[in-house]
Structure 1
Amino acid sequence: MDTGAVVIPPYVGRPLRLAPFRGLRLTPRRVGDPASGRLFARPYRAVPGRLAQWQERGQLRHDGEPAVYLHEYTAAGLTVRGLVGALDISHRASGPEDRAVLPHEGIHPVQADELADRMTELALNPAPILLVHRAPASVRAVVHQVLATEPEDDFVDRNEQRHRVWAIRDPDLLATLDDGLATSQALIADGHHRYAAYLRMQRRHPGGANDRGLAMLVDQEDTPLFLGPIHRVLTGVGLDDLAAAAEVVGAGFDVVDRTAAVHALGPTTLAATDGRRWAVLKLHLPEERAAVEQLHEDLVPALPRGPQRIEYHHSVETTLDRLRRDSIAVLMPAPDVDLVHQIAADDRLLPEKATSFQPKPSVGVLIRSLRDG
């Protein structure tokens, strides 16, 4: 895909609002089951009929009354809670101070168009995008008040995730959420292309169901998503090439052993290896700049050759396993959430695959039908 086509999606304006919707929910034994993917398979126009069949068979539930949902999931010992609702995307921000949702990665317009076409044919938002924010006290109080009650769902899915779901329908609680979220600003953690697809659908058919898109809003102070690094393998590049680039940009470059290189990883320090030698790159970064920005904007352009290709991997082990002759692995530090938010607020884009917010919930816990309006 042509990286030159990367653009910033439009900004949604305040107030940030999660509207109630009638949740579609796969039964617990279907959540996390790879076979459930056929529900959303081609032909997409047949999906509403499949939904009806699954509902008749008791494999899918469609709530009778709209709600904003509290969804708590636990994966690998980490628990995340978020409010799930229909995000109001009906109006665009009038200026920087009016932005409700901040993207931090660029999107490929063609990919966003394809997703918009698919969701239109599906007549569904199959899964919520993930947003993170720091909730005001009033919103957090509602969440903990709801937590004190019995959940409507409590189960472990096929991916070994535990899910608890509450439906919030009390008018007073919904009004408190509306008031509390109105001035909030959320960062997109996962789903940049789906967010852009929502905006395309809304622009094509404003005034109806497409004025909203399914989103999960996570309080990063209460139950934070883990923000991990994404490492790189640069093909067609040697360690000496990286040393030359470091000299050009004024970064330190020291050959060390593996243990020292890995232990040196930090906000301004990268580790690199060709599988035989190891090195540490010490970057000189201003406070408002991330290490991944300097790698892609300064170091890679300064390489005397390559890279022919860049691969992205979440674990050190996988990254090192993918090393081949005439390639290097660059191990990255995890970005700081507040720094990512500041970069997004400054209208800057992080390079592709810069962040990895984890864990993500299994698909099928909450789905939104566009036929409900």
Structure 2
Amino acid sequence: MDSGQVVTPPYVAGPLRLLPFPGLMLAPHRVGDPSTGRAFARPYRGVAARLLRWQSRGLVRRDAAPALYLHEYTAGGMTIRGLVGALDVSRRATRPEDRAVLPHEGIHPAQADDLADRMAEMGLNPAPILLVHHGTPRLGELMAGVLGTTISHEFTDRSEQQHRIWAIRDAALLADIAEELRDSRALIADGHHRYAAYLRLQQRDPGGPSDLGLAMLVDQSTTPLFLGPIHRSLAGTSLDDLRNAAASLGMTCTDRSQSEAVAALGPSTLAATDGKEWVVVDLAVPTDRAAVEVLHGQLVPALPHGPTGIGYHHTVDDALASADPRSTVAVLMPAPSVDLVQRIAEDDRLLPEKATSFQPKPSLGVLIRSLRDEADAPS
């Protein structure tokens, strides 16, 4: 899809509300198993029936009573902890100061529509979107208290992620948590298109289960997600094109060795290679902007040739593998800080597509929300 099809999703209005829901949980040996994804594949109308069959075989656990869940997972030596609940998406913000959820990337409307259709057919939110915020000191105290209670579920999944889950049902505690969350502003870390799909479902069928969407809210002050860069490859261009573009913009472009170029990578500098030569480009990034904004907003449009395509790579090795002196320049990007991304979102700006990679993400199947169960539940 071309960039003209990227739009800003609507904003959810505060107060931020994360509500209890009756969780579905796959059996531990199914969580993190690559084959588990097939349970949520076409035909989507059959997904609910598949999960019912799995439940009859003991492969799915269904909580009888709604809860907020404190979910802690450890992957690659990093431990992340967040509240999982049903995010209220029923109200739209008309003023910037009313926003409760902040996207930082645009979405493709057709992709959001497709995801909404899938969720409606499945009758499920298969996985929570990831949100980050800075919780209040009081919220931290409440969560510390939860950690001292009995664990509801504890297991290591097929991908070696370790999970601990506490179900929170005490009415007084839930009220205290709600009070501490109400004035929060959450940044979307992962799941922009699923967030937009929630809003489409709510618009189609307001007043019921679609007023809510599954979310995990991580406190960056206590167990922060790691924010890494997503590197680029520019097809149909060359290092000479990059040098010429930088010169036309008054940017410094310096030839370096590979080790020097990689070492120079920083908030306002990027390193680029065609697989043989390396350069470092000083982007002179303003303090309120990210390097990826300057790359896409200034440097790429100034290229005398190309790019005919842009590739996105989560690792340096993948980016370097795409470099070719005849056809493709690999660009290694610095990661923006979480606070900078938050400020950009607060300013009602969007970063270019695939600008951030928040890690680690929880495995699929730990907590699932059934829209059908909630629609059929007695009021």
Give the shorter-chain TM-score range.
Answer: over 0.9
Instruction: State the distance in 1 between where 2:95 and 2:52 align.
Output: 43
- Deviations 1:167-191 (CA, angstroms, capped at 9, x unpaired): 0001111011100000000000000
Hey, what does 1:256 align to over in structure 2? 256
Hey, what does 2:343 align to over in structure 1? 342
Classify the secondary structure of the residue corresponding to 2:296: helix
Q: How does 1:194-205 map to 2 (within 5 A)?
A: 194-205=194-205
Counterpart amino acid of 1:270? L
Unaligned runs of 5+ residues in structure 1 are: none
Classify the secondary structure of the residue corresponding to 1:232: strand
Hey, what does 2:362 align to over in structure 1? 361
Post-superposition offset of 1:139: 1.4
Does 2:70 align with 1:70? Answer: yes
Post-superposition offset of 1:2: 2.6
- Deviations 1:265-298 (CA, angstroms, capped at 9, x unpaired): 1100101111111111111121101100000010
Classify the secondary structure of the residue corresponding to 1:223: coil
Counterpart amino acid of 1:88? D
Counterpart amino acid of 1:339? L
Post-superposition offset of 1:79: 0.5
CA contact (8 A) 1:230 1:315 kept: yes
Instruction: State the distance in 2 between where 1:219 and 1:27 align.
Output: 27
CA contact (8 A) 1:138 1:176 kept: no
Instruction: State the distance in 2 between where 1:48 and 1:253 align.
Output: 56
Percent pairwise identity: 65
Does 2:103 align with 1:108? Answer: no
Aligned-residue CA RMSD (Å):
0.8
- Deviations 1:101-128 (CA, angstroms, capped at 9, x unpaired): 0000000000000000000000000000
Does 2:135 align with 1:138? Answer: no
Hey, what does 1:279 align to over in structure 2? 279
Counterpart amino acid of 2:344? I
Counterpart amino acid of 2:353? E
Does 2:20 align with 1:57? Answer: no
Q: How does 1:137-286 map to 2 (within 5 A)?
A: 137-286=137-286
Post-superposition offset of 1:35: 2.0
Classify the secondary structure of the residue corresponding to 1:196: helix
Classify the secondary structure of the residue corresponding to 1:187: strand
Classify the secondary structure of the residue corresponding to 2:92: coil
Counterpart amino acid of 1:284? A
Does 2:332 align with 1:331? Answer: yes
Does 2:376 align with 1:370? Answer: no
Classify the secondary structure of the residue corresponding to 2:227: strand
Classify the secondary structure of the residue corresponding to 1:241: helix
CA contact (8 A) 2:322 2:328 kept: no
Counterpart amino acid of 1:359? P
Q: How does 1:302-321 map to 2 (within 5 A)?
A: 302-321=302-321
CA contact (8 A) 1:209 1:372 kept: no
Hey, what does 1:117 align to over in structure 2? 117
Unaligned runs of 5+ residues in structure 2 are: 375-379
- Deviations 1:287-318 (CA, angstroms, capped at 9, x unpaired): 10110000001000000000011111111111
Post-superposition offset of 1:326: 1.9
Instruction: State the distance in 2 between where 1:291 and 1:165 align.
Output: 38
Classify the secondary structure of the residue corresponding to 1:340: helix
**Normalising to structure 1: TM-score of the pair?**
0.99
